[in-house]
Amino acid sequence: MLKLMIVDDEIEIREGLLAMEWAELGLTVVKVCENGLEAYMWIRDNPVDIVLTDIRMPHMDGMELAAKLHEQFSYTKVVVLSGYDDFLYARNCIRYGVEDYLLKPVRLDQLKDTMLRCVNGLNQDKQQQMRAIMLERRSMLLTNVLRKKFIQQCTSVPVSQEEWEEGCSVGEMLLDSPPYTVCLLKFDIDLSAPWEVDKHLLAFALHNILIDLWDDKYGYHSVNDSTVEVLFLAQGEEDWMVIMTELRKQLYGIRGLFPSTFSISIGQTVNSIQDLPLSRLSADKALSSGDVDCIQVYDHKQFDPSTRQTAEPDTILLQQLQHVGPLNQTGMDVVNQGKAYIRANYNRSITLSEVADHVHVNASYLSFLFKEMSGENYIAYLTSCRIEAAKELLAETQYKVYEIGEMVGYENSRYFSQIFRKITEQTPNDYRISVRN
């Protein structure tokens, strides 16, 4: 049986569709949703084969849902069931690969014919396509998890330059434009109390909105699924008061999901990645001050940097390596084995810890060996492997830029283009043109 999802904000329509004999068409209804956001959130963890959706719904309409499914779950067929005979809707349906656009009230035979056509199409090469897409999806989810973990880490404790480079690489972030500022968003309620709205749904909605509103433009963000606190890691010289005020206005566009108002605080701007925890601490202090103004700015004069107590990265490294012993040819063997593993796996998310586990040493020692034996660090070597492979694909194939990015280990096409340009001083398209002329 193929999996069918029904999405409509009218209970009568949902119940009517649910009562149909879907089994006759080889379908089983696995989920019924009231809006596109609920449907999209569920599909991320529970892929379906066909989505039968209304157009006009709260939080996320049918066209937005179709667009996201077309981009991220291309194997899912979408059938639109609408009460509006609108040319713009019909045109967008074509754009987003919608299987059919049916007008309410729809004839039963017409709906069955459409669904049967979807079923027949899905049964052709479905397993192979699903397997490939799910592998890509798993890689993208891993990147998101690593990004979220690193943002929390580097704003909680000081990190070394090498940890910073690896965290940015595995999380596909380009954060090379100091100064940096940590900003926080918190809801003005007791989060331990029961909510009428699902906290995970709200966290999911905020994350997807902030991808477009914040990421790559100003920095990156991390949403805590349990507290729905948002941490913004901003970079560059900007008027964060103005930007955060505008962001707040935009977020109120989905206030129907909010259980309360929210506050945004702006931490101390710092020039060093080692001082990011100070910026976060100052943002926390601003939120706890109790000021009625939702946007608060921390006065850096109130903070004494001399109270910071951190161990120097080099000292930490020496402590970790003191029992390793002197460097010798075995060290070069370890580096060569590590490089071979990287060359074989650069086309997916890969961390220093994973490579270290493969060559049976700890991550700090492998990092040290890379610098001592080859003159470059782990991230530099991984990046060079990916960019060289990308150059070859750009020169010899017709794959699109985003496809090549995915093939060499970058899920985010914009990040791939940024890194490629940083290394080669050319965009991927410019490089392709130059080598072919």
In total, how many domains does the chain have? 3
Q: What is the pLDDT of residues 190-207, one digit of tens each?
A: 655 555 556 777 788 888
pLDDT band (50, 70, 90) for residue 134? low
Do 189 and 208 lie in a common domain? yes
Higher confidence at residue 236 or residue 286?
236
Confidence (pLDDT) at 192: 56
Interval 260-285 mean pLDDT: 88
Confidence (pLDDT) at 47: 86
Looking at residue 55, which CATH number applies to its domain?
3.40.50.2300
For residue 390, being part of any structural domain is answered with: yes
In angstroms, the Cα distances linking 133 to 7, 50, 124, 130, 411 are 23, 16, 15, 5, 12
Quote the pTM value. 0.54
For residue 65, being part of any structural domain is answered with: yes
Interval 419-432 mean pLDDT: 93
| 103 Cβ contact partners less than 8 Å away, ≥ 6 residues apart | 82, 83, 84, 85
Higher confidence at residue 333 or residue 293?
333
Let me know the angle formed at the C-alpha of 417 by 415 and 420, rounded to the nearest 5 degrees: 110
Do 172 and 29 lie in a common domain? no
Among 265, 291, 307, the domain-final residue is 307
Do 10 and 88 lie in a common domain? yes
Interval 356-361 mean pLDDT: 86
Specify whether the CB–CB gap between 376 and 336 falls below 8 A.
Answer: no
pLDDT band (50, 70, 90) for residue 320? very low
Do 166 and 260 lie in a common domain? yes
Do 81 and 165 lie in a common domain? no
Do 188 and 289 lie in a common domain? yes
Do 335 and 378 lie in a common domain? yes
Confidence (pLDDT) at 330: 64
Confidence (pLDDT) at 312: 38
For residue 373, being part of any structural domain is answered with: yes
pLDDT band (50, 70, 90) for residue 129? low
Least confident interval from 84-88, 301-305, 358-362, 377-381: 301-305
Tell me which residue range forms the domain holding 370: 314-436
pLDDT band (50, 70, 90) for residue 22? very high
Looking at residue 290, which CATH number applies to its domain?
3.30.70.1230
Confidence (pLDDT) at 315: 34
For residue 130, being part of any structural domain is answered with: no
pLDDT band (50, 70, 90) for residue 136? low
Among 104, 124, 144, the domain-final residue is 124
Q: What is the pLDDT of residues 360-408, one digit of tens each?
A: 888 877 888 888 888 888 899 999 999 999 999 999 888 889 889 988 9
Do 303 and 318 lie in a common domain? no
For residue 21, being part of any structural domain is answered with: yes
> Which residue, among 331, 388, 389, has the nearest Cα to 365 in the 3D structure?
331
Looking at residue 418, which CATH number applies to its domain?
1.10.10.60
Do 238 and 345 lie in a common domain? no
Do 102 and 146 lie in a common domain? no
Burial, 32: exposed, middle or buried (Cβ in 10 Å; 0-12, 13-18, 19+)? middle
Do 171 and 278 lie in a common domain? yes
User: Tokens standing for 170?
Assistant: 């595995």
| 231 Cβ contact partners less than 8 Å away, ≥ 6 residues apart | 151, 152, 155, 182, 183, 184, 221, 222, 223, 224, 280
Do 298 and 322 lie in a common domain? no
Per the listing, tokens 């960019």 go with 387
pLDDT band (50, 70, 90) for residue 131? low
User: Tokens standing for 391?
Assistant: 């150059």
For residue 131, being part of any structural domain is answered with: no
Q: How far apart are CA 296 and CA 108, in angstroms?
A: 58
For residue 26, being part of any structural domain is answered with: yes
> Which residue, among 58, 80, 56, 85, has the nearest Cα to 69 in the 3D structure?
80
Among 307, 326, 360, the domain-final residue is 307
For residue 14, being part of any structural domain is answered with: yes
